[in-house]
Chains A and B, each alone.
Chain A
Amino acid sequence: MSDINNQMVDKYRNNFLKEVEANVEEGDWVKMCMQCGVCSGSCPMGPYWDHPPQELFMMIRAGKREEVLSSSSMWMCTSCYNCIARCPRELPITHIMHGLAHYAKRLGIAPKEQPTLKFSQKFWDNLMVNGRVNELKLGIALYFIDGFAQGVKNALAAAGLGLGMYKAKRLNPFEILGGHSIKDKSGFQAMIKKAQEIEEARISGNAK
């Protein structure tokens, strides 16, 4: 477990709601949930969540820190925004789910083998290189997400689809050589670095 996680445990003790309010994107909305369950009933991935959003909100208030942050639940969010559109209290539920997922990962207590966590990280890393997504490299990275042998199997299984995309001119094998890119990569990277530093400073400041 990371230092920052231990510091947060020390700092907030039994008040996980306060911790979420201060550190999770849109977390200050959590206390507004009235437990109606519309979000959980509206979720296309509903059956696959260990704890649907409504339950996560109650667990946060009940101080179930570890159960919430180590859960794979919020990584089931497809960002369909059904819950946001329907919530009678207008909680930005989609964003809170992303925020909880990101916070858990930041603290190093998110489930390591969660497939969407891995894909989401690959997506971010991919776009950081050129400022734009390289779909070919992202696809290849995805096939090999569970190791080399599985990767070869996955790539072969998807060969038909890849060929179809190529024939439709929607996949370019030459993207492997670099691909589409922005021009001002150094400015772009400096900007992201700064944004990360500001966020990092705010959260580690909260942990003290």
Chain B
Amino acid sequence: MAKEYSFYPGCSSQKGTSGSNLQTSINTVCDTLDIKLNEIPDWNCCSASIGYSGGGELPRLALSARNIALSEQNNPGQEIVATCAACWLATRETKERIEGSEEVREGTEAALKEAHLSISKEMPKVRHMTEVLIEDIGFEAMKEKVVRPLEGIKIAGYVGCQTNRPFGIDGESFENPKYLDNMVEAMGAESCPTYEKKVSCCGGALAFSEPEKSQALVKGIIESAYDHGADMIVTPCPVCQLNVEAYQDNINATYGTKFNIPVTYYSTLMAVAYGKSSKEAGLDGLMIKAKQLEAITSK
């Protein structure tokens, strides 16, 4: 029987948005592994971690509380799962903040009432998709579905920030988490376990407001991947993916580098290894084409 979850896809997952190819590959992977994602109806933006200038604490918490309330109402008894690091973080933080303070709970409940919504005493657990894969499915079961192992490809696992801190995956360290490397290996590719930049920051939203400073950070992330002989970078985070892929031309122009390294999602790797088409894996959503993966899909 399929495992069911209440799904919070987030703004960047929608059609024609920056992380739409993450969603495509997630759908493919969940289909293969018999995971059913029940989208939270009418979900809203969580304001990520950059909405704080306009939004004070309570308005920001109300955003995520609305999603939790809608999840409880429409997908009762199901844990909430997010694929976007910021969505996961904001929702889980909100749950903890409400649970930690009566004043915050009262304020949030009063705000929700205006939208005719409510949250229960015991709100559902809020999890990241990688937690579901690792804890509920397991590496062995993920491996079993591989029909086209990603042989001969070396991949630097870039975990980034918010998938890893402050919550992270149970049993993994903040400084050197191993699960992404293990996923890479499970798909038959070679990982770079000593990749120094695996939990470094790409600048996040400051890629937009402080582009030079952010691009200097991205330069280090890419350089280190090349130093390890990586053919491509893999990440779980849509912001990391965009920042590391999209500004390579700018970085080349500034620093005289010749970066041209594909940046894919873990779910893209999985979909390719599961024998799916280039489209189903979301490979057509890459601006720097992952030719080695394309070759495997057309085998």
**Residues in chain A within 8 A of chain B (CB atoms):** 25, 44-45, 48, 76, 78-82, 84-86, 94, 98-99, 101-102, 105-106, 115-121, 123-125, 127-128, 131-133, 135, 142, 160-161, 164-165, 167-172, 174-175, 180, 182-184, 187-188, 190-196, 198-199
Bound-state Cα–Cα, A86 to B48, Å? 22
Q: Do most interface residues of chain A lie in helix, strand or loop, or is the interface mixed?
A: helix
Q: Is A135's CB under 8 angstroms from B18's CB? A: yes
- Please judge, given known A-B contacts A169-B16, A170-B19, A172-B16, whether A124 and B47 are in contact too, CB under 8 Å: yes
Q: Cα distance A132–B56 when bound, in Å?
A: 18
Interface residue? B275 (CB, 8 A) = no
CA distance A45 to B211 in the complex (A): 12
Nearest Cβ on chain B to A139's Cβ, whole angstroms:
8
Check A127/B114 contact, CB under 8 A, given A82-B161, A101-B52, A180-B11. no
Please, which residues of chain B bring their CB within 8 A of the CB of A161?
246-247, 249
A85 touching B166 by the CB < 8 A rule? yes
Q: Is B162's CB within 8 Å of the partner chain A? A: yes
User: In the complex, A78 Cα to B50 Cα: how many Å?
Assistant: 8
B205 at the interface (CB under 8 A from A): yes
* CB pair B44 A171 closer than 8 Å: no
Return B208 CB to nearest CB of chain A, in Å: 5
Residues of B within 8 A of A132 (CB): 11, 14, 44-45
A171 nearest CB neighbor, chain B only: B16
Q: Contacts A45-B213, A116-B210, A191-B66: A102 and B53 contacting too (C-beta < 8 A)?
A: yes
Once A81-B166, A170-B18, A190-B115 are accepted as A-B contacts, the answer to whether A119 and B208 lie under 8 Å apart by CB is yes
Out of B112, B161, B286, name the residue touching A79 (CB < 8 Å): B161
**Are B161 and A169 interface neighbours, CB within 8 A?**
no
Contact indicator per residue, chain B 40-60, by CB within 8 Å of chain A (1) or not (0): 001111011111111111110
Pairs across A and B, CB under 8 Å, 14 listed:
A44-B217, A45-B213, A76-B210, A78-B201, A102-B53, A115-B209, A117-B53, A124-B51, A131-B45, A142-B208, A187-B114, A188-B44, A194-B113, A199-B57
Beyond A25-B56, A160-B249, A161-B249, list 19 extra A-B contacts (CB 8 Å). Answer: A44-B203, A44-B217, A78-B161, A78-B206, A80-B204, A81-B162, A84-B165, A85-B174, A101-B52, A124-B55, A132-B11, A133-B45, A135-B12, A142-B208, A161-B246, A182-B42, A187-B114, A192-B59, A192-B111
Structural contact, A120 and B50, CB atoms closer than 8 A: yes
Which parts of B96-153 form the interface with A (CB within 8 Å)? 107-108, 110-117
**What is the CB-to-nearest-CB distance from B50 to chain A, in angstroms, rounded to a whole number?**
5
Q: Give Cα A194 to B48, complex, Å.
A: 20
Given contacts A82-B161, A85-B174, A190-B114, contact A196 B58 (CB under 8 A): yes
Shortest Cβ distance from residue B163 to the other chain A in the assembled complex, whole angstroms? 10
Q: A123-B205, A132-B11 known; A170 and B58 CB under 8 Å? A: no
Complexed CA–CA distance, A205 and B208 (Å)? 36
Cα A101 to Cα B110 in complex, Å, equals: 26
Q: What residues of B have a CB within 8 angstroms of the CB of A81 in the complex?
A: 161-162, 165-166
Q: Which of B56, B112, B206 contacts A102 (CB 8 A)?
A: B56
| Docked complex Cα distance between A115 and B210 (Å) | 7
A184 touches B115 (CB 8 A): yes
Known contacts A85-B166, A115-B209: does B59 contact A79 (CB below 8 Å)? no
Pair A85/B165 contact, Cβ less than 8 Å: yes
Chain B residues closer than 8 Å to A98, beta-carbon distance: 49, 52
